[in-house]
């Protein structure tokens, strides 16, 4: 397990760890990534090409990290506490998968920033 980076998520510092195994932290069991709201940490398992990975492992790793960051954003915004959809893995995955496409559209329109 190694620390990748510390990030600011809506005013709260989260630490991202990569190459996390069950020996490092049991929360990663049966998961490619986990966002722990109680410790403000994101854990990403070692990425290996397997039958569940339908794309390049690099793209899958990025998508997994985006997915866990979306969880952190929804939690820190308070939506995780008050809605069903903010905890829904399909919704979180949709945001994580579509974000790069949305960003390209917004950049093309030159509306990606204030």
55-63, long-range: CB < 8 A, 24+ apart: 60/32, 63/96, 63/97
Tell me what pLDDT residue 12 has.
98
Q: How far apart are CA 95 and CA 102, in angstroms?
A: 9
DSSP tag of 53: -
What is the rounded CA–CA span in Å between residue 48 and residue 70? Answer: 22
The answer to whether the pTM exceeds 0.85 is: yes
For 47-105, the pLDDT digits (tens) are 877 666 566 888 889 999 999 999 999 999 999 888 999 899 999 999 999 999 999 99
């Amino acid at each position: 397990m190694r620390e990748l980076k510390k990030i600011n998520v809506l005013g709260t510092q989260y630490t991202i760890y990569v190459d996390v195994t069950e020996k490092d932290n049991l929360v990663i069991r049966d998961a490619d990534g986990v966002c722990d709201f109680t410790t403000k940490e994101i854990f990403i398992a070692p990425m290996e090409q397997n039958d569940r990975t339908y794309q390049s492992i690099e793209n899958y790793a990025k998508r997994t990290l985006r997915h866990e960051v979306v969880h952190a954003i929804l939690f820190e915004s308070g939506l995780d506490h008050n809605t069903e959809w903010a905890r829904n893995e399909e919704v979180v995955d949709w945001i994580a998968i579509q974000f790069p496409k949305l960003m390209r559209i917004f950049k093309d329109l030159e509306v990606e920033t204030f």
